[in-house]
Chain A
């Protein structure tokens, strides 16, 4: 650019050092950082700063950018260790929270294969969208399409309205703690999209999608760390979608028979009765007597040796204030039931 980076803003400039992650697989054996220091005024975004660096200092700095207005999702990157869009991130805002004064660190998204500098390969995301059928397979045959509309209530529209805000920028993928350990994991973005399809009444393959989602690397692998939701650039409640799929799986697949759901039920009944857990029998109620004997005996023996066994069931006294608690518990359960009913409509 021949004009200063932003001749339009009033007020002073700050010298900002952009510490940019560099890696060109053709020549570099490992990544490194390059520092570029430029004066930046209030109102300038990280993307405009990177454009300035590319045009005036080092043309080889590589990153993706397209719409520059926060809607295409191309410029996702980690800015001071948080994944977000460079085009909607103000430099001065980041600077105010920078750990190292005057320095902004810019790195590629995590959990996707690195291509070059700030560019990562998006193909794994597309592959997962395909694997989990992230599309509407319409209940209407192709030949009859275009003739009339499905009638959809505002209520149904609102069920997937927020989810369709997703621009696949992959910030949630970059922040996901499960993906760091297991690249096969379905990923928050694909769970969100799967949920969006599953609650759409026009879709015909709800069961098929769900049966894929409950397999290994699927919806049960999420550990509720909420980082996907916290980092979502469109503020989409991704965890609600993940919970939604789980509830759906338990409800519609009648999965009362798995150890996971038995564990949950044993938990619930203890809490209801005593306000605390009866740990000694929990493994038996979850996995049965034989499994417990086979798998937990050695540990039980060790625990006895070290006097670390949980109290036997008759000794587990009800928690204090159990009467009030039971009342609250009953009310809450009613609420959840109501919720489920209205969801199913």
Chain B
């Protein structure tokens, strides 16, 4: 195959924005997007609430500076302040750009883009399209990419980077439709494969495919991952499925209520109440449950998200999707009765370590979106900042890769490497010596993570978690792929996804065990206080001779000094 200038792995918001921007930067480049699903299926579509930008349409006194401060404080001062500056100052521009390209934003009475309040934000600055914001943004980007003639390789599963010394020669991937392993020689590769929170499996709001494929590939190629221990639990997952009820439901005025009928957030965040930052609200709900103030049910203990006082009209017009989901997955109509919810693993703050331009430690390799970690979210992401992150840094990564592509010689990927990958995926895993069922391993991984590396963490639990993950990795060596066909072998794909999750789970648990403090989403019962003297730094996890080696990286500070974080 003719070498590509830019190969983008992942067709969600970050990947598509990167593709569009790369084509805009240099239309003569040969650019391709590889995705394991059709791009319009990507998990960006599930983001309901919105994207933050200080447009000051709703709150006339809103400023970029306030958005910056809210983000830094929300991230418990672990975010790099120069990166946050980029995120927030690019925000109004990128939201308007999307608007100019056709995103159907909801509107205010003066016909400008509508904004709503969101957790952890001083003022209402979350731009939205009812409760389908991510879906409409993804549609717009996909449409624009089709318009620009971006080349798509849909339903290709990325397997490995081809590395020559300190730089990448391109990517090796499997064509799901044919089962063939193919080489994509490329001057630059951008990873935009989304997050890894699906490793918590049933206690996760994520799509089945959010398995951190890009992070795992980068990690195996020796590229460091950053802040992997920070996994955000969203406060309001549906009790049975873990599926998400948007923060917009609280933004519109929903209450969190325990079994005593009490709006318990008054105890934890007097001022912000239900609109405190996600880590705080999740911990508050978990505490209510642990202290016996939740509702018991065979599906586990839960609390109520009450929207009944908002009235049928508002629920139908502003939150139609969550009404539908409550009815479909819990049998509850939020107009009539409260929704049963509990926290669910939702977002991974950690990811491939990048600079503010999307560059990773390896020449010619870039990362963006939830897959990367710049870091703009620090120890805890604010609602409405993830869509913004994928747009802003997707665009930046696309631009950087397009600018730098011609600096590098095109790679040629040796046949031996392709064969090696083919052997790895189609070799022994069908044989009778393999007997482990991937479903069981995956379930156990989710359970051990939720139990030992969950919302509340503690030394002995984490040790147990690390031990169990390593046992699961051992058992995985004997995993069986029962489906032997070449055409669309989803069984094989699920097994390969599990391998990625297992590799990453090790870095999450190792980081959580090492970090002896509580910061943002990372709460250590045995170290309940933030320890700036020892731990105001990023964690780096690198694979060295098959072992996770932890390192560190300083946090870039700026205008905002460390402060205690209260709401």
Name A's B-contacting residues (CB within 8 A).
1-3, 7-10, 24-27, 43, 54-56, 58-60, 62-74, 88, 90, 115-117, 119, 121-123, 126, 129-130, 133-138, 140, 142, 145-154, 157, 160-161, 164-165, 167-168, 197, 200, 202-203
Report whether A24 and B485 are in contact in the complex, using a CB–CB cutoff of 8 Å. yes
In the complex, A71 Cα to B44 Cα: how many Å?
10
Tell me if B45 is interfacial: C-beta within 8 Å of chain A: yes
Tell me if B555 is interfacial: C-beta within 8 Å of chain A: no
CB-defined contacts of A115 to chain B, threshold 8 Å: 177, 487-488
Q: Which residue of B lies closest to A119 (CB)?
A: B488
Q: Which residue of B lies closest to A142 (CB)?
A: B24
28 pairs, CB–CB < 8 Å, chain A vs chain B: A1-B439, A2-B443, A2-B444, A8-B297, A25-B487, A43-B240, A55-B437, A59-B482, A62-B488, A66-B41, A66-B208, A67-B46, A67-B207, A68-B207, A69-B46, A70-B325, A72-B207, A73-B41, A116-B485, A126-B146, A129-B143, A135-B143, A136-B101, A149-B113, A152-B111, A164-B136, A167-B40, A197-B102
CB-defined contacts of B105 to chain A, threshold 8 Å: 152
CB-defined contacts of B132 to chain A, threshold 8 Å: 71, 164-165
User: In the assembled complex, how far is the CB of residue B47 from the closest CB belonging to chain A, in whole angstroms?
Assistant: 10
Selected interface stretch from B90-98, B263-271, B532-540: B90-98
Residues of B442-498 at the interface with A, using a CB-CB cut-off of 8 Å, are 443-444, 481-491
In the complex, A287 Cα to B487 Cα: how many Å?
53
Using known A-B contacts A9-B298, A164-B132, determine if residue A60 contacts B41 with beta carbons closer than 8 Å.
Answer: no
Q: Which of B38, B130, B299 contacts A8 (CB 8 A)?
A: B299
Q: Which residue of A lies closest to B148 (CB)?
A: A135
Cβ proximity bits B206-229 to A, threshold 8 Å, 1 near / 0 not: 011100000000000000000000
CB-defined contacts of B102 to chain A, threshold 8 Å: 135-136, 138, 197, 200, 202-203
User: In the assembled complex, how far is the CB of residue A236 from the closest CB belonging to chain B, in whole angstroms?
Assistant: 12
Report whether B243 and A69 are in contact in the complex, using a CB–CB cutoff of 8 Å. yes
Report whether B107 and A154 are in contact in the complex, using a CB–CB cutoff of 8 Å. yes
In the complex, A160 Cα to B129 Cα: how many Å?
12
Report whether B243 and A74 are in contact in the complex, using a CB–CB cutoff of 8 Å. no
User: In the assembled complex, how far is the CB of residue B324 from the closest CB belonging to chain A, in whole angstroms?
Assistant: 7
Shortest 8 CB-CB distances between A and B: which pairs?
Answer: A136-B102, A8-B299, A59-B482, A135-B143, A55-B439, A146-B97, A151-B111, A60-B483
Tell me if B545 is interfacial: C-beta within 8 Å of chain A: no
Beyond known contacts A66-B37, A149-B99: 16 more, CB 8 A cutoff: A3-B443, A62-B488, A66-B207, A67-B41, A69-B207, A72-B46, A88-B328, A115-B177, A122-B38, A136-B140, A147-B96, A149-B96, A151-B111, A152-B111, A153-B107, A154-B107
User: In the assembled complex, how far is the CB of residue A106 from the closest CB belonging to chain B, in whole angstroms?
Assistant: 15
Report whether A2 and B487 are in contact in the complex, using a CB–CB cutoff of 8 Å. no
In the complex, A82 Cα to B177 Cα: how many Å?
26
CB-defined contacts of A67 to chain B, threshold 8 Å: 41, 43, 45-46, 207-208
Report whether A145 and B139 are in contact in the complex, using a CB–CB cutoff of 8 Å. no
Report whether A74 and B41 are in contact in the complex, using a CB–CB cutoff of 8 Å. yes
Report whether A160 and B104 are in contact in the complex, using a CB–CB cutoff of 8 Å. yes
Q: Which of A73, A130, A146 contacts B146 (CB 8 A)?
A: A130
CB-defined contacts of B240 to chain A, threshold 8 Å: 8, 43
Tell me if B524 is interfacial: C-beta within 8 Å of chain A: no
User: In the assembled complex, how far is the CB of residue A23 from the closest CB belonging to chain B, in whole angstroms?
Assistant: 10
In the complex, A74 Cα to B173 Cα: how many Å?
21
User: In the assembled complex, how far is the CB of residue B11 from the closest CB belonging to chain A, in whole angstroms?
Assistant: 12
User: In the assembled complex, how far is the CB of residue A9 from the closest CB belonging to chain B, in whole angstroms?
Assistant: 7
In the complex, A203 Cα to B93 Cα: how many Å?
20
CB-defined contacts of A63 to chain B, threshold 8 Å: 490
Q: Which of B96, B481, B482 contacts A148 (CB 8 A)?
A: B96
CB-defined contacts of A55 to chain B, threshold 8 Å: 437, 439
CB-defined contacts of B328 to chain A, threshold 8 Å: 70, 88, 90
Report whether B490 and A202 are in contact in the complex, using a CB–CB cutoff of 8 Å. no
Report whether B40 and A168 are in contact in the complex, using a CB–CB cutoff of 8 Å. yes
Report whether B45 and A72 are in contact in the complex, using a CB–CB cutoff of 8 Å. yes
Q: Which of A133, A138, A157, A167 contacts B104 (CB 8 A)?
A: A157
Tell me if B563 is interfacial: C-beta within 8 Å of chain A: no
In the complex, A62 Cα to B485 Cα: how many Å?
10
Using known A-B contacts A65-B208, A116-B488, A152-B111, determine if residue A135 contacts B146 with beta carbons closer than 8 Å.
Answer: yes
In the complex, A74 Cα to B488 Cα: how many Å?
14
Q: Which of A7, A135, A147 contacts B144 (CB 8 A)?
A: A135
CB-defined contacts of B241 to chain A, threshold 8 Å: 68-69
Report whether B143 and A167 are in contact in the complex, using a CB–CB cutoff of 8 Å. no
Tell me if B331 is interfacial: C-beta within 8 Å of chain A: yes
Cβ proximity bits B5-42 to A, threshold 8 Å, 1 near / 0 not: 00000000000000000001000000000000110111
Report whether A164 and B139 are in contact in the complex, using a CB–CB cutoff of 8 Å. yes
Report whether B100 and A60 are in contact in the complex, using a CB–CB cutoff of 8 Å. no
Report whether B490 and A62 are in contact in the complex, using a CB–CB cutoff of 8 Å. yes
Using known A-B contacts A67-B46, A68-B208, A164-B129, determine if residue A145 contacts B96 with beta carbons closer than 8 Å.
Answer: yes
In the complex, A129 Cα to B142 Cα: how many Å?
11
Report whether B143 and A136 are in contact in the complex, using a CB–CB cutoff of 8 Å. yes
In the complex, A73 Cα to B138 Cα: how many Å?
13
CB-defined contacts of B96 to chain A, threshold 8 Å: 145-149
CB-defined contacts of A197 to chain B, threshold 8 Å: 102
Q: Which residue of A lies closest to B201 (CB)?
A: A1
Q: Which residue of B lies closest to A3 (CB)?
A: B443
User: In the assembled complex, how far is the CB of residue B540 from the closest CB belonging to chain A, in whole angstroms?
Assistant: 31
In the complex, A77 Cα to B443 Cα: how many Å?
26
CB-defined contacts of A2 to chain B, threshold 8 Å: 439-440, 443-444
Report whether B111 and A146 are in contact in the complex, using a CB–CB cutoff of 8 Å. no
CB-defined contacts of B297 to chain A, threshold 8 Å: 8
Report whether B440 and A145 are in contact in the complex, using a CB–CB cutoff of 8 Å. no
User: In the assembled complex, how far is the CB of residue B492 from the closest CB belonging to chain A, in whole angstroms?
Assistant: 9
In the complex, A68 Cα to B342 Cα: how many Å?
18
Using known A-B contacts A43-B240, A54-B491, A157-B107, determine if residue A167 contacts B298 with beta carbons closer than 8 Å.
Answer: no
In the complex, A122 Cα to B176 Cα: how many Å?
14
CB-defined contacts of A26 to chain B, threshold 8 Å: 485-487
Using known A-B contacts A130-B146, A148-B96, determine if residue A59 contacts B483 with beta carbons closer than 8 Å.
Answer: yes
Report whether A161 and B107 are in contact in the complex, using a CB–CB cutoff of 8 Å. no
User: In the assembled complex, how far is the CB of residue A72 from the closest CB belonging to chain B, in whole angstroms?
Assistant: 4
In the complex, A154 Cα to B139 Cα: how many Å?
20
Using known A-B contacts A24-B485, A65-B208, A67-B207, determine if residue A133 contacts B46 with beta carbons closer than 8 Å.
Answer: no
In the complex, A64 Cα to B101 Cα: how many Å?
30
In the complex, A56 Cα to B135 Cα: how many Å?
33
Report whether B146 and A157 are in contact in the complex, using a CB–CB cutoff of 8 Å. no
In the complex, A200 Cα to B207 Cα: how many Å?
31
User: In the assembled complex, how far is the CB of residue A334 from the closest CB belonging to chain B, in whole angstroms?
Assistant: 30
Tell me if B164 is interfacial: C-beta within 8 Å of chain A: no
Best-buried of A62, A146, A157 by chain B (most CB within 10 Å): A146
Report whether A151 and B100 are in contact in the complex, using a CB–CB cutoff of 8 Å. no
CB-defined contacts of B440 to chain A, threshold 8 Å: 1-2
Tell me if B284 is interfacial: C-beta within 8 Å of chain A: no
In the complex, A70 Cα to B131 Cα: how many Å?
13
CB-defined contacts of A148 to chain B, threshold 8 Å: 96
Report whether B146 and A202 are in contact in the complex, using a CB–CB cutoff of 8 Å. no
User: In the assembled complex, how far is the CB of residue B296 from the closest CB belonging to chain A, in whole angstroms?
Assistant: 12
CB-defined contacts of A161 to chain B, threshold 8 Å: 104, 130
Cβ proximity bits B321-365 to A, threshold 8 Å, 1 near / 0 not: 100110011010000000000000000000000000000000000
User: In the assembled complex, how far is the CB of residue B17 from the closest CB belonging to chain A, in whole angstroms?
Assistant: 13
Q: Which residue of A lies closest to B92 (CB)?
A: A146
Report whether A66 and B209 are in contact in the complex, using a CB–CB cutoff of 8 Å. yes
In the complex, A71 Cα to B481 Cα: how many Å?
29
Report whether A10 and B43 are in contact in the complex, using a CB–CB cutoff of 8 Å. no
Q: Which residue of A lies closest to B482 (CB)?
A: A59
Q: Which residue of B lies closest to A47 (CB)?
A: B208
CB-defined contacts of B113 to chain A, threshold 8 Å: 149
Residues of B107-137 at the interface with A, using a CB-CB cut-off of 8 Å, are 107, 109-113, 129-130, 132, 135-136
CB-defined contacts of B42 to chain A, threshold 8 Å: 72
Tell me if B60 is interfacial: C-beta within 8 Å of chain A: no
Q: Which residue of B lies closest to A148 (CB)?
A: B96
Report whether A71 and B100 are in contact in the complex, using a CB–CB cutoff of 8 Å. no
Using known A-B contacts A135-B144, A142-B24, determine if residue A149 contacts B298 with beta carbons closer than 8 Å.
Answer: no
